[in-house]
Structure 1
Amino acid sequence: MKYKLREEIKTTLLIGLTLLVWIPLWMILSGSLMGESEIVQNVGPVFNQSKGMADWTLFPQYLTMRPFVKLLFDSPNFFIMFWNSCIQVIPILIGQLLIATPAAWGFARYEFRGKNILFFLYIILMVLPFQVTMVSSYLVLYRFKLIDTHLSIILPNIFSAFPVFIMTKFFKTIPKSLIEAAKLDGANEGYLFLKVGIPLGKSGIFSALVLGFIEYWNAIEQPITFLVRKKNLWPLSLYISSITTEKIGVAFSASVIILIPTLLIFLYGQKYLEQGIAASGLKE
């Protein structure tokens, strides 16, 4: 009886926490289907547009698609910023795939002088927040005349230490006996990397790419810092901040559309994340 009661309490708590996490998402979704007047009626006190306490209904009283119509047909700036996000995020991920993958393979499989020190420096760079490196990064980009260009966002993130750290951990899980067997069969270093390392370490590679997409698609600090004078280069993550309170319904509908690519990428890459977690616990 005590065991069943304990399990029921745990289940209830988990369901409660799950619902708590879903509340903001449900508010965004339901808000995108509300009219402007209904949204102002609910959250008007937050913006000092009415008196009283803010409120929120579980379902829209008057269901409408008007916010999506305004966003998709009357907001050309939205599509410009969407394209800017694609221009910035896709090259970053391709660059990380080309640079971080062989770097991680080198850290995982080769022994060389200064390896531990160099990897320790990678870890330091990974844990440093953007605010610490913001000034130095700005000065370097300014000297190379890259401020207010897409490259000011792309280049620093291509050389990010985070994907190297993630992929290195996964490459280390590849059994050494498999590598030695391939060498005995005459496999050279390039063959080992392309035919053994990448297929067996694909969970780590996809995990790094999925996490990287989620981070860069929702980036805010770097675009604001490095794209100061050319707001026409701003990514989609900064679109909502440019919306006034008079178009609050458009803000909710924009939030839904911005969430869709992230949600799809996460759902597609979830199996790789799970495989990666399982692989990290395997031993030779």
Structure 2
Amino acid sequence: MGQKGGLTMRKKSAGLPLYIVMAILCTAVLFPVILAVILPFQAHSELKDTLSPLVNFTGKYSRVDLLPQYPSTENFKELLVYSPEFYRVFWNSLLMVGCILLFQTLVAVPAAWAFARAEFKGRRLLFNVYVIFMLMPFQVTMLSQYLVLDGMGLMNRRLAVILPAVFSAFPVFLIYRGFADIPRDVADSARIDGANEWQVLRYIGLPLGKSGILACVVISFLDLWNMVEQPLTFLRDKTKYPLSLYLPTLGADRGELLLAAAAVTLIPAVFVFVIGQEELERGIIASALKE
């Protein structure tokens, strides 16, 4: 018992430096998020002193109190009551992200099932092409998307942002792994019993590949909720801007609104992440496994 206890203590001592390093890294990552939550609760006068070096630098650096001296909800009141444009951009974000997620899932699920279960010539080559497209950043395909959307007469419309994202390759890749791990005997047994391919997908593929689908929805939501380049490229009318483009227009001179809007913007993303965290972890683990 003494030797086992000593071995356990040595293992814990050996892992202590790693825990310290991880704690420092986590603190560095979380610190901006903590500030984004705390600063909006500062009173106008206190927040003005905090942000004044950012607006007009006079040689003094900004000092941030982790606990507001005079906690106040004035900033949120000004945002939610006296800033009607915030509701417009919030609705724009919900509309675009909701439509993209809905139709993206409807497109990606059958495509992933075909890549994972169907046997046809050139399947592997076509899937590799999908992966290549997934690795391309938006800057590479921006011009071609712009020309196509302009030719279709969709520029400066929300559909210009929604349509290219619906056919994104990443959801297909992520859902594919969940379908590929389903034992073939299960699907073959259903086909022998008379089920067609859509019935196999509905009653076997969707329940068993649920983790990959939900992980795809969570990751896509977090990405789409903060997208900047696509709406900035395809939208000219600022009334159609999403939240991600509304925040930079406020500027440091309207810091109280900017910080309050940033805190409110965090709420949907945090909510979706907390709700789908377990499925997200399962989906990522499944997608990382080799075939």
User: Match of 1:267?
Assistant: 274
Q: Please tell me whether residue 3 in structure 1 is matched to residue 11 in structure 2.
A: yes
User: Match of 1:79?
Assistant: 87
User: Match of 2:63?
Assistant: 55
Q: Which has the higher contact order (CA 8 A, sep 6+)?
A: 1
CA–CA separation in structure 2 for the residues paired with 1:277 and 1:95:
22
Q: 1:27 aligns with which of 27, 30, 35?
A: 35
Question: Shift in Å at residue 282 of structure 1?
Answer: 7.5
Q: Structure 1 regions of 5+ residues with no counterpart?
A: none
Is this contact kept in 1: 2:154–2:160, CA < 8 A?
yes
User: Match of 1:64?
Assistant: 72
User: Match of 2:6?
Assistant: none
User: Match of 2:261?
Assistant: 254
CA–CA separation in structure 1 for the residues paired with 2:194 and 2:290:
26
Is this contact kept in 2: 1:80–1:232, CA < 8 A?
yes
Q: What do residues 15-40 of structure 1 show as CA deviations (whole Å, max 9, x unaligned)?
A: 22222221001111111101233223
SS in 2 for 1:239: helix
- CA pair 280-148 structure 1, distance change in 2 beyond 3 A: closer
Is this contact kept in 2: 1:33–1:60, CA < 8 A?
yes
User: Match of 1:138?
Assistant: 146
Question: Shift in Å at residue 277 of structure 1?
Answer: 3.8
Question: Shift in Å at residue 136 of structure 1?
Answer: 1.1
CA–CA separation in structure 2 for the residues paired with 1:279 and 1:161:
18
Question: Shift in Å at residue 97 of structure 1?
Answer: 1.4
Question: Shift in Å at residue 280 of structure 1?
Answer: 4.8
1:118-137 equivalent positions in 2, closer than 5 A: 118-137=126-145
User: Match of 1:239?
Assistant: 246
1:188-199 equivalent positions in 2, closer than 5 A: 188-199=196-207
CA–CA separation in structure 2 for the residues paired with 1:173 and 1:249:
50
Q: What do residues 242-264 of structure 1 show as CA deviations (whole Å, max 9, x unaligned)?
A: 11333201111101110100110
SS in 2 for 1:131: helix
Q: 1:113 aligns with which of 97, 100, 121?
A: 121
- TM-score, normalised to structure 1, is 0.94
Q: Please tell me whether residue 226 in structure 1 is matched to residue 262 in structure 2.
A: no
Is this contact kept in 1: 2:116–2:177, CA < 8 A?
yes
Question: Shift in Å at residue 283 of structure 1?
Answer: 9.1
Is this contact kept in 2: 1:173–1:280, CA < 8 A?
no
CA–CA separation in structure 1 for the residues paired with 2:225 and 2:144:
23
Structure 1 vs Structure 2 CA RMSD: 1.7
- Which consecutive segments of 4 or more residues in structure 1 shift more than 6 A? 281-284
Q: What do residues 74-132 of structure 1 show as CA deviations (whole Å, max 9, x unaligned)?
A: 11100000111111111111111111100000000011112122111111111111111
Q: What do residues 153-206 of structure 1 show as CA deviations (whole Å, max 9, x unaligned)?
A: 110000111101111111101011211222233322121111000110011111
CA–CA separation in structure 1 for the residues paired with 2:54 and 2:20:
32
Question: Shift in Å at residue 279 of structure 1?
Answer: 4.0
Q: Please tell me whether residue 200 in structure 1 is matched to residue 222 in structure 2.
A: no
CA–CA separation in structure 2 for the residues paired with 1:110 and 1:55:
61
SS in 1 for 2:276: helix
CA–CA separation in structure 2 for the residues paired with 1:73 and 1:101:
41
Calculate percent identity across the aligned residue pairs.
41
CA–CA separation in structure 2 for the residues paired with 1:125 and 1:58:
44
Question: Shift in Å at residue 51 of structure 1?
Answer: 3.1
Is this contact kept in 2: 1:28–1:256, CA < 8 A?
yes
Letter of the 1:165 counterpart: F
CA–CA separation in structure 2 for the residues paired with 1:256 and 1:142:
35
- TM-score, normalised to structure 2, is 0.92
Q: 2:178 aligns with which of 164, 170, 177?
A: 170
SS in 2 for 1:32: helix
Is this contact kept in 2: 1:108–1:172, CA < 8 A?
yes
User: Match of 2:22?
Assistant: 14
